[in-house]
Amino acid sequence: MGQKLTELNSILGNSVEKYQYLINNIADVIVEIDLNGIFTYISPQVRKIFGYKPEEIIGTKFFDYIHPDDMPSIIDTFEKAIRFEDSVSIEYRVRHKEGYYVNVSANGSIVKIDNDVKIIG
């Protein structure tokens, strides 16, 4: 029993390392947002693309970074994704830390993680 548990822990550790390697080396920003629009995860690439450190973003509202003119489209897309539990694609502008806006093309999906519903994109 102890040896089997050790093997399972090793497999799990390898899976976590592989996942972290992929997330850290993909060119895109990966996010996890709760249904209140709060960032619960954002990948390190956020610094290169938008100028923020991940810890500056986690716990803040997704909508606070969106160009005001894009808000109606963003809200509509969020509502559709939640209502139909489907994947969505959208283009919008995100505020860079220096104040200018960056054009973004994003895909997102609704997923259930530990009984919590999240948007992953």
Would you kindly state where each structural domain of the chain is located, as residue ranges?
28-120
H helices present in 1-121, as ranges: 2-25, 45-50, 54-57, 71-84
Q: Which residue is it, tokens 């997923």?
A: 111
Report the DSSP beta bridge partners of residue 66.
94
pLDDT at residue 10 in the model:
60
pLDDT at residue 23 in the model:
65
Q: What is the pLDDT of residues 6-53, one digit of tens each?
A: 665 565 556 667 767 676 667 789 999 998 999 999 999 999 999 999
pLDDT at residue 43 in the model:
93
Q: What is the pLDDT of residues 52-88, one digit of tens each?
A: 999 999 999 999 999 999 999 999 988 888 887 778 8
What's the CATH fold of domain 28-120?
Beta-Lactamase (3.30.450)
- Contact present, 121 and 30 (Cβ < 8 Å): yes
Q: What share of the chain is helix, strand, coil (3-state, %, to 5)?
A: 45, 30, 25
pLDDT at residue 6 in the model:
66
